[in-house]
C-alpha cells in the first residue's frame, strides 16, 4: 500500500497521502465509480482519493457519498466529515468523526507567481517576507517569498475553502493570514488565519513541504 505519509491528528481525525502507481483495476476492487470522469489520469486520481477513505477508517461508507452543488462530497448523516485532494501522481484525504476538515495538495511551479495578486494581500506578503527572513539565518541576502511559499499560502486558502464547504468565498477578503507562519522541528508549518464569512473566527492551517508538493490541512469545529 503506497501510503507515503500518514498523520493521526487525534483519535477522531486521520490524514494520509497516496502515491498513485496502480492501474484502475486495483482501485475498482474497492471503490464504486459513480462519477463519469473521461480523462484516464483524472479518473485514477478520483479513485485513489476515495480509496484512501476506508484506509483511514475501515467503516467509511463509500457507497453513501453524495456531492453537493458546490462539488463538495459529503455523507448525509455526517458519520464522518472528509475532504479529498489530488495533483499529479498524489492523492490526499482527511477524515474525522468529530470535526469539520479540509485538505489540499499542490504541485510547486513558478506559475503561481503570475497570479499572486488574486489571492495575496499586501499584509500577507509582509507576513510571508517575515517568515522567509526568519528561515534564512544570517546569510547576506534578504530573501523574498518564492513559489514554494506562495503555493503554501494558496494551498492553505484552498483548505479553508473546502473546510467552509458552502462556496462564495473571496480568497483575498474572507481568509487572511493573520501572523507569520511558524515551523516546528519536524518541518510542520502552522499558519494562523482570520476567517470572515457569516461571522469572524480564527483557525489554524497546517502545512508540509513534500519534495515538489505542498500538503495542507485543517480540522476544527464548525
Can you give the C-alpha Rg of the chain in angstroms? 18
Asked if the model's pLDDT at residue 94 lies above 90, the reply is: yes
| Fold agreement between 3-98 and 106-220 | yes
Q: Determine the pLDDT at residue 137.
A: 65
What is the full DSSP assignment across 91-112? EEEEEESSSEEEEEEEE--GGG
How confident is residue 143, by pLDDT bands cut at 50, 70 and 90?
low
Query: pLDDT category, 40, cuts 50, 70, 90?
Result: confident
pLDDT at 1: 56
Lowest average pLDDT, out of 1-15, 35-49, 100-114, 133-147, goes to 133-147
- What is the per-residue DSSP string for 52-65? HHHHHSTT--GGGE
Q: Is it the case that residue 221 has pLDDT exceeding 60?
A: yes
Calpha distance 21→89 (Å, rounded): 8
The CATH class, in words, for 3-98 is alpha beta
Please give the model's pTM, rounded to 2 decimal places: 0.93
* Band of pLDDT at residue 211, cut at 50, 70 and 90: confident
Average pLDDT score over the chain:
92
Q: In the numeric block, which cell numbers belong to residue 163? A: 473546510
Q: How confident is the model at residue 222 (pLDDT cuts 50, 70, 90)?
A: low
Domain ranges of the chain: 3-98, 106-220
Cα–Cα distances in angstroms (integers) from residue 125 to residues 146, 179, 206, in the given order: 11, 11, 18
Q: What local confidence, expressed as pLDDT, does residue 72 receive? A: 87
In which band, very low, low, confident or very high, does the pLDDT at 199 lie, cut at 50, 70 and 90? confident
Residue 107 pLDDT class (50, 70, 90 cuts): very high
pLDDT at 153: 98
Given a cut of 90, whether residue 71 has pLDDT beyond it is: no
Question: pLDDT tens-digit profile of 145-184?
Answer: 799 999 999 999 999 999 999 888 999 999 999 999 999 9
Average pLDDT over residues 22-41: 85
- The count of other CB atoms within 10 Å of the CB of residue 201 is 13
* Cα gap 119→133, rounded to integer Å: 21
Superfamily of domain 106-220: 4'-phosphopantetheinyl transferase domain (3.90.470.20)
Amino acid at each position: 500500500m503506497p501510503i507515503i505519509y500518514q498523520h493521526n491528528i487525534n483519535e477522531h481525525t486521520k490524514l494520509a497521502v497516496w502515491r498513485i502507481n496502480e492501474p484502475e483495476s486495483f482501485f475498482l476492487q474497492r471503490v464504486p465509480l459513480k462519477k463519469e470522469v473521461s480523462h484516464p489520469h483524472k479518473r485514477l486520481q478520483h479513485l485513489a482519493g476515495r480509496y484512501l477513505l476506508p484506509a483511514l477508517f475501515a467503516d467509511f461508507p463509500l457507497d453513501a457519498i453524495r456531492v453537493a452543488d458546490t462539488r463538495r462530497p459529503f455523507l448525509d448523516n455526517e458519520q464522518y466529515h472528509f475532504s479529498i485532494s489530488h495533483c499529479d501522481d498524489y492523492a490526499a484525504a482527511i477524515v474525522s468523526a468529530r470535526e469539520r476538515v479540509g485538505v489540499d495538495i499542490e504541485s510547486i511551479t513558478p506559475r503561481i507567481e503570475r497570479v499572486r495578486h488574486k489571492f495575496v494581500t499586501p499584509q500577507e506578503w509582509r507576513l510571508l517576507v517575515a517568515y522567509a527572513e526568519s528561515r534564512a539565518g544570517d546569510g547576506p541576502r534578504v530573501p523574498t517569498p518564492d513559489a514554494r511559499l506562495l503555493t503554501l499560502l494558496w494551498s492553505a486558502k484552498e483548505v479553508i475553502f473546502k473546510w467552509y464547504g458552502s462556496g462564495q468565498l473571496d480568497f483575498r477578503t474572507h481568509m487572511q493570514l493573520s501572523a507569520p507562519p511558524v515551523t516546528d522541528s519536524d518541518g510542520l508549518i502552522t499558519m494562523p488565519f482570520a476567517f470572515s464569512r457569516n461571522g469572524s473566527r480564527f483557525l489554524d492551517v497546517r502545512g508540509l513541504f513534500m519534495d515538489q508538493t505542498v500538503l495542507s490541512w485543517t480540522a476544527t469545529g464548525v
